[in-house]
């Protein structure tokens, strides 16, 4: 008697390609539904919608291409803390001063994370980009990435010394920025990503390219009294 069993090398890739193992099925649905669909997901557990993996994946997904899923999730008005992707965990969870981060909604965190991914020009040289499987229990699960400082104090997994942090540099494409849906959404509520905008501003000042933005929406924000007041503290 013989049995036709799939070998693990064949089974794994097929499982990874199934719709059930699509990261969107972990991150878009409620935590309860995610828990029913995936034994490793659910609620605030390892791969629930509020998990670090989902925040990283959705930030990159929507930063690469803003679609109907991103639009739907950006309207999520429940609050969540912390934002594990961006440095929004300062005083009271803020990205740009006390009292901001802890009142951001899940939708605003997604928008901010998408902007951080979309407009990143480069990261400081002391940091490396590391990759890991979104769901380590699925053979063909897509990879997600994050930046960490390098050094010896964390045995190759990043320097744990507080001063050694990753410093992003953000920039925009002048030719397309006025029609960029992520930037336009940021500009309509720029307080949720003011640090990204200030970073772009400082980068443009430092490289003497601010004039290129003069006739753009973001350039007009930079010239506004409200923004100038913000950068002066």
Domain annotation covers residue 197: yes
pLDDT in tens, 110-146: 999 999 999 999 998 888 899 999 888 888 888 999 9
Rg of the Cα trace of the chain? 20
For residue 92, being part of any structural domain is answered with yes
Q: Give CA separation, 209 vs 173, 175, 201, 219, in Å.
A: 12, 14, 10, 11
Query: What mean pLDDT do residues 175-196 have?
Result: 95
176 CB contacts (<8 Å, ≥6 apart)? none
- 2 domain residue, yes or no: no
Across-strand partners of 131?
Answer: 145
Q: What is the pTM of this model?
A: 0.79
3-state secondary structure of 105: strand
Q: Which of 27, 99, 97 is nearest to 59 (CA)?
A: 27
CA angle 23-27-33, nearest 5°?
105
46: Cα separation from own chain's centroid:
17
CA distances from 89 to 92, 105, 130, 176 (A): 7, 14, 21, 31
Flag whether 1 is in a domain: no
Instruction: State the CB neighbour count (10 A cutoff) for residue 105.
Output: 16
Length of the chain in terms of residues written: 233
Angle at the Cα of 100 (from 28 to 92), degrees rounded to 5? 95
* 16 and 141 Cβ atoms separated by less than 8 Å: yes
- 53 assigned to some structural domain: yes
**Residue 84, in any domain of the structure:** yes
Q: Is residue 3 part of a domain?
A: no
Please check whether residue 28 lies inside any domain of the structure: yes
Task: Please tell me whether the peptide bond between 82 and the residue prior to it is cis, using omega within 30 degrees of 0.
Answer: yes
93: left (phi over 0), alpha (psi -120 to 50) or beta: left
Q: Mean pLDDT across the chain, nearest whole number?
A: 78
Query: Which among 192, 186, 173, 175 has a CA at the least distance from the CA of 221?
Result: 186
Per-residue model confidence as pLDDT tens digits over 56-105 = 999 999 999 999 999 999 999 988 656 666 644 433 333 443 334 457 88
* Predicted local distance difference test score (pLDDT) of residue 137: 81
**Higher per-residue pLDDT: 12 or 135:** 135
Q: What proportion of the chain, given as a percentage, has pLDDT over 90? A: 43
Q: What domain range includes position 191?
A: 8-231
Looking at the 3D structure of the chain, how many domains does it have? 1
CA distances from 229 to 18, 83, 224, 226, 233 (A): 51, 26, 9, 5, 7
């Amino acid at each position: 008697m013989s049995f036709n069993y799939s070998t693990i090398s064949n089974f794994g890739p097929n499982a990874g390609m199934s719709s059930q193992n699509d990261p969107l099925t972990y991150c878009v649905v409620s935590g309860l539904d995610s828990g029913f669909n995936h034994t490793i997901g659910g609620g605030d557990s390892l791969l629930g919608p509020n998990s670090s993996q989902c925040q990283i994946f959705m930030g990159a997904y929507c930063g690469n291409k803003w679609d109907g899923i991103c639009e739907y999730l950006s309207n999520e008005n429940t609050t969540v803390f912390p934002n594990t992707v961006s440095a929004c965990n300062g005083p009271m969870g803020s990205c740009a001063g006390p009292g901001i981060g802890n009142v951001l909604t899940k939708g605003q965190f997604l928008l901010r994370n998408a902007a951080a991914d979309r407009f990143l020009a480069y990261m400081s040289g002391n940091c490396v980009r590391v990759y890991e499987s979104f769901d380590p229990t699925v053979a063909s699960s897509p990879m997600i990435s994050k930046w960490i400082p390098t050094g010896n104090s964390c045995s190759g997994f990043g320097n744990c010394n507080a001063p050694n942090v990753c410093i992003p540099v953000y920039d925009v494409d002048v030719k397309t920025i006025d029609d960029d849906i992520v930037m336009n959404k940021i500009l309509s509520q720029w307080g949720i990503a003011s640090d990204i905008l200030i970073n772009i501003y400082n980068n443009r000042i430092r490289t003497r390219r601010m004039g290129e933005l003069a006739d753009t929406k973001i350039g007009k924000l930079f010239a506004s009294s409200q923004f100038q007041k913000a950068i002066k503290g």
